[in-house]
Amino acid sequence: MAPPSPVPGSSRDPRVDFFRGLAFIIILIAHVPANWMARWIPARFGWSDATEMFVFMSGYAAGIAFGSTFVKAGWWVGTARIGYRVWQVYVAHLTLFFFVAMFMVLATDLFDTRDYVRQLNLTYFFEHTPRAMVGLFTMTYVPNYFDILPMYIVVLAMMPFLVALARYIHPWAACAAVVVIYLANWQFGFGLPAEVREGSDRVWFFNPFGWQLIFFTGFGLAVGWIKPPPVSRWLFAAAVALIVVGVILGYHPLWRSYEVLTTAREAIRPWLNKTDFGILRYIHFLALAYVTVVLLRGHEHLLRSRWGAPIMQCGQQSLPVFLFSMAFSRFAGIALDHTGRDRVWVVILVNAAFIGLLICLAYLLKWLKSEPWRKRRTEAQSAPPSQPAPAPAPATRAAE
400 residues of the chain, pLDDT tens digit each: 344 433 333 457 889 999 999 999 999 999 999 999 999 998 899 999 999 999 999 999 999 999 989 999 999 999 999 999 999 999 999 999 999 999 999 999 998 788 999 999 999 999 999 999 999 999 999 998 999 999 999 999 999 999 999 999 999 999 999 999 999 999 998 989 898 777 778 899 999 999 999 999 999 999 999 999 999 999 999 999 999 999 999 999 999 999 999 999 999 999 999 999 999 999 999 999 999 999 999 888 889 889 999 999 999 999 999 999 999 999 999 999 998 888 899 999 999 999 999 999 999 999 999 888 887 666 666 666 655 555 555 544 444 3
Measured CA to CA, the distance from residue 5 to residue 167 in angstroms comes to 27
The burial of 307, by beta-carbon neighbours within 10 Å (0-12 exposed, 13-18 middle, 19 or more buried), is given as exposed
Fill in the DSSP letter of residue 398: T
Angle subtended by helix axes 208-223 and 171-188, to nearest 10: 160
Global pTM?
0.89
**Cα-Cα-Cα-Cα dihedral of 310, 312, 316, 319, to 10°?**
80
Would you kindly state where each structural domain of the chain is located, as residue ranges? 14-368
Give one DSSP letter per residue of 22-59, joined into a string: HHHHHHHHHTSTT-GGGGGSGGGGSS--HHHHHHHHHH
Q: For residue 315, which of 11, 10, 22 has the smallest C-alpha distance?
A: 22
Distance CA 68, CA 73 (A): 8
Contact of 166 with 173, CB cutoff 8 Å? yes
